[in-house]
Amino acid sequence: MTRPQSVLFCCDHNAVRSPMAEGLMKKRHGRSIYVQSAGVKNDLEIDGFAIAVCAELGVELSRHRTRSFEEMRQWGDDLEGFDLIVALSPAAQRMAQELGRHAHIEMEYWSIMDPTGLGQHRDEKLESYRQTRDQIESRLKARFG
């Protein structure tokens, strides 16, 4: 597989999985690959647990501003500008396929666990978010080296 020059990660709300993937990818590859993220909807702020577990690896997410596919288009970031779209949820995969149906963009679906709503206590919640973070990290390593 060739290494893309630009990657868009997408999930449902751009509040947990896709910003984690964006942050982890930027830490791994710096500016050598242009990386962004988006959600099907933008109805949540960046998740505090996602911020916390990424900070454990030196990845800063607290300044992340969530955005939807629609907002991306409004801000001039067209899907056609990306070599690869990685969907991290079924809804994001459907949206990306719909929006990119006329463009020749490589698309991948990674089945990544949604940690929201898992665990009763803070420690359990953090552990489920770490599992998601580590799932993303291992997929990034396998796909992009």
What does the pLDDT look like over 93-114, one tens digit per residue? 998 888 777 777 889 999 999 9
Structural domain harbouring 62: 6-140
The closest alpha carbon to 91, from 17, 2, 1, belongs to 17
Whether residue 1 is contained in a domain is answered as no
Q: What is the mean pLDDT of the chain?
A: 90
Q: Is the pLDDT at 145 greater than 90, yes or no?
A: no
Residues 1 and 78 sit within 8 Å (Cβ to Cβ): no
Question: Count of domains in the chain?
Answer: 1
* pLDDT score, position 1: 65
pLDDT of 107-142, one tens digit each?
999 999 999 988 889 999 999 999 999 999 999 999
Tell me whether residue 145 is in a domain.
Answer: no
Number of H helices, E strands in the chain: 5, 4
In a domain, 94, yes or no: yes
| Domain of residue 88, CATH code | 3.40.50.2300
Please state the pTM of the whole predicted model: 0.92
136 phi and psi, to 5 degrees?
Answer: -65, -45
